Amino acid sequence: MLNSELNLNPDIFASPQKKSMRDGFGEGLVLAGELNKDVVALCADVTDSLRMNLFKNRFPERFIELGIAEQNMAGVASGLAAAGKIPVMAAYAVFSPGRNWEQIRTSICYNQQKVIIVGSHAGLNVGPDGATHQALEDIALTRVLPHLAVVSPADALEAKKAILKAIDYPTSVYLRLSREVSPILTTDDTPFTIGRSLVFWLPDQTKEFSGITIFVSGYLVFEALKAAQELKKEGIEIAIINNSAIKPLDKELILDWAKKSKAIITIEEHQIAGGMGSAISEFLSENHPLPIHFMGVNDAFGESGQAQELIHQYHLDQEAIKNKVKEILKI
């Protein structure tokens, strides 16, 4: 059942309002600009697409357009941070942190200049643009970098909260966003903290827990919740953690649920290698080994199609999740 303590959207399964994470980010960025005069925004020719036009119109002097130059954007952001600014640099994730990874490594992370790196269009849900624009490697690229936190919000509201929290976070932050609209799962009153994950779905305490805990992040959290609701109808109680905190991991929470579970499933719109599931597996194999099943893209590229078609094609939709749970439970 939905965790009643988190003030989640009561309409999740009815007809939830849909909005994209980039919309939430755009709104949050303006708010961040209002709250802190040192916030500056940098973009690489995708201003409207990333909803940074809101910030640009409000604070034109604090908006820097770099053109299609993501490597330069990382260096310039580092320099702005050195001059006392709080730069937020955004582009599509395949290009940032994809194309400019070394600049992020040296100019931002090794330099310990605080920059907020926003990678939108992460995952298969980019859809018709196809494999070139579907970032499936960005978590792997970012979570190996010291002095960089990695955050993957699950809806537009979390994206809005994440950018605001990132402004005050002590290190640089990578914020992973989706392109496609998705249901609003949370409310303004749902907590959000970088480094903390939340249990969105709890097993009914009056019933027997199946022992399956799902760690899922981003756009797919809703798919997992739908799977949980259907499994519940079949008498299967699972737990679902919205694992927005990819780095640092919410270790306490993960350990707590690992101890209660007999198996874990990780689900992400990312390569299985090096992703969120890998991070959890690295932690648990040392601290509480148990069977872990990885759902993600398995050493392949994406392709063109509608977001939902692709999620189905790559076995990441509610049906695939339900089947995986049953397969583990041998039902």
Partner 1 sequence: MKNNIKELENLATQIREEIIRMLMRAKSGHCAGPLGAVEQYIALYFGDILKYDPQNPDWSERDRVVISNGHYAPLIYAILAYAGYFDKDELKTLRKLGSRLQGHPHRLSLPGIETSSGPVGEGLAQAVGMALGLKLSGIKSQVYCLMGDGEHDCGNTWEAVMLAGKYQLDNLTILIDRNNIQIDGFTEKVMPLEPLKDKYEAFNWKVLEVDGHNIEELIRALNKAKAIFVKPVAIICNTIPGKGVNFIEGEYQWHGKAPNSQEAEEALKQLRTMKGKIKSELD
Residues that bind partner 1 (CB under 8 A): 40, 61-62, 64, 66-67, 69, 71-72, 74-85, 87, 102-103, 106-107, 110-112
Smallest gap from residue 111 Cβ to partner 1 (A): 5
Non-local CB neighbours of 180 within 8 Å, separated by 6+ positions: 20, 125, 126, 127, 219, 307
Smallest gap from residue 50 Cβ to partner 1 (A): 19
Largest CA distance in the chain: 60
What is the DSSP-derived secondary structure letter of residue 272? S
Smallest gap from residue 79 Cβ to partner 1 (A): 2
Smallest gap from residue 114 Cβ to partner 1 (A): 13
| Pick 52 or 221: Cβ nearer partner 1 | 52
Between vectors from CA 325 to CA 320 and to CA 327, what angle results, nearest 5°? 90
Torsion of Cα atoms, 234 then 239 then 243 then 244, to 10°: 80
| Pick 21 or 44: Cβ nearer partner 1 | 44
| Pick 97 or 275: Cβ nearer partner 1 | 97
C-beta separation of 55 from 48 below 8 A: no
| Pick 106 or 132: Cβ nearer partner 1 | 106
| Pick 37 or 259: Cβ nearer partner 1 | 37
Smallest gap from residue 37 Cβ to partner 1 (A): 10
How many other C-beta atoms can be found within 10 angstroms of the C-beta atom of residue 272? 20
CA distance 50 to 242: 23
Smallest gap from residue 207 Cβ to partner 1 (A): 54
CA distance 286 to 126: 35
Q: Which amino acid is at 185?
A: L
| Pick 13 or 110: Cβ nearer partner 1 | 110
